[in-house]
Amino acid sequence: MRIELDVNGTKHELTVEPRTTLLDCLRDCLDLKGAHAGCEHGVCGACTVLFDGAAVRSCLMFAVQAEGSIITTIEGVTPAPGELSPVQDAFCETHGMQCGYCTPAMILAAHALLADNPQPTREQIVEAISGNICRCTGYTQIVEAIALAAERMRGANRPQA
């Protein structure tokens, strides 16, 4: 099937089999390798992307279902080559990862949370990433990263004295 996808601000015309998941489409057709396959049945969250601004699992959607929607991947939140978003930088500051496999998805979950709630509590952060399994970190430094990003982003928006 021919479909049109808006990914990271660019429109792509693609031909896919209906059975191709959005995850496989992003990785194989668009070469966007930041979304990862972990379980492919919707539990681990490693494939998270932003779909019309909300964090969703790209393994739980066929690409044909995504036609016409606005999709943002980790490549789309990276401001420029070699440059990090405040959330990405905060993850580096706290070392909110180890192997890096779940990391892009965690960062997208954090972006979705902070877009909605600039001042999340620890519980709200935990809830926001509870659908993303990290096997390395025990989550502590991830929670710290998101709290730090929130703090910095609030600071950035404060009017200069």
Partner 1 sequence: MNGGAHHRYVSTDRRVREDRRFVAGKGQFVADVKLPGMRHVAVVTCPHAAARIRRIDKAAALNMPGVHYVLDGAELAAATQPLMNGLETPHVPRRPLAHETARYSGEWVAAVVADSRALAEDAAEAVEIEYEPLPFVLDAEAALGKDSPLVHEAHGSNVLLDKTFVWGEVEKDFAASARRLSLRVKWGRSSTVPIETFGVVAAWDPWRDILDVYASIQMPRYAEQIAAALKIPGSSVRVHYEVDVGGSYGVKRGIKHTVLCGYLARRLAFPVRLIEDRLENMRGGDAHGPERLFDVEVAFEDDGIVRSMKMRALENLGAYAGRSPFQLGKPIGAIVGPYKIKSVQYRALAVVTNKTTQEAVRGFGQAPTNLALERCMDEIAAVLKLDPLDVRRRNLIRHDEFPYLIPSGTTYDSGNYETVIAKVLADARYEELKAERDRLRRTGKLAGIGIAACLEPSGGNATFEALLNPAITTSTFMESCRINVDGTGTVTATMHTTSSGQGHETLVGTVIGEVLELDPDTVRVTRPDSLNSLPSGTPVGSRMAISLGGAAFHAAQKLKAKLTAIAAHDLGIAPDRAVYERGEVYDGQAPARRRTWVDLVGIAYRNYHRMPPGFEPGLAVEYVYQVPAGGALPDKTGRVQMYPCFSFEFHVLLLSIDPDLGQPQIVRYLLGHDCGTQVNPKIVRGMTMGGVAHGIGAALFEEFAYNEDGQLIAQTFMDYLLPSAHEVPAVEIVDHETPSPHTVLGQKGSGESGYLGAPAALANAVNDAVRPLGIFVNTLPIRMAALGDLIAGAVERQKE
Partner 2 sequence: MKAYPFDYVRPRSLDEACSLLAGDDGARAIAGGQTLVPMMVMRLARPARLIDISRIAVLAYVRADEFGISIGATTPQGVVERNALVGAKVPLLARAIPHIGHAATRARGTVGGSLANADPAAELPLVAVTLDAVLSYRFGAATAEVPARDFFVGPMTTSLPAGGCLVNVGFPVWKGDRIGVGFREVSARRSDFAFAAAAAQVALGADGRCKRIAIGVGAVTDFPIRLASAERALIGSELRPEDVKAAVRDELDGHEMLADLHASSQYRRRAAVALAARAVADALCEAQTSRTDAH
List contacts with partner 2 (CB under 8 A): 1, 17-19, 21, 24, 40-42, 45, 48, 51, 54-57, 59-62, 64-65, 67, 109, 112, 127-128, 130-131
Q: How far is the CB of 8 from partner 1 (least distance, A)?
A: 11
- What's the distance, CA 114 to chain centroid? 12
Contacts 24+ apart (CB under 8 A), 31-34: 32/7, 32/8, 32/73, 32/75, 34/73, 34/74, 34/75, 34/104
Rounded to whole angstroms, the Cα distance separating 90 from 148 reads 6
100 binds, among partner 2, partner 1, none (CB under 5 to 8 A by kind): partner 1
Contact 145, 87 (CB under 8 A): yes
Q: How far is the CB of 105 from partner 2 (least distance, A)?
A: 9
Pick the closer one to partner 1 by CB: 65 or 131.
131
Pick the closer one to partner 1 by CB: 43 or 54.
43
7 binds, among partner 1, partner 2, none (CB under 5 to 8 A by kind): none
* Residues forming a β-bridge with 10: 7
59 binds, among partner 2, partner 1, none (CB under 5 to 8 A by kind): partner 2
Amino acid at 108: L
Q: Going along 2-89, which residue ranges are E strands?
A: 2-7, 10-15, 48-51, 54-57, 70-72
Q: How far is the CB of 49 from partner 1 (least distance, A)?
A: 11
Tokens coding 78: 């990276």
Please report, as ranges, the residues that interact with partner 1 according to CB under 8 A. 17, 19-20, 27, 32-41, 43-44, 46, 73-75, 78, 84, 88-89, 91-95, 97-104, 107, 122, 126-127, 129-143
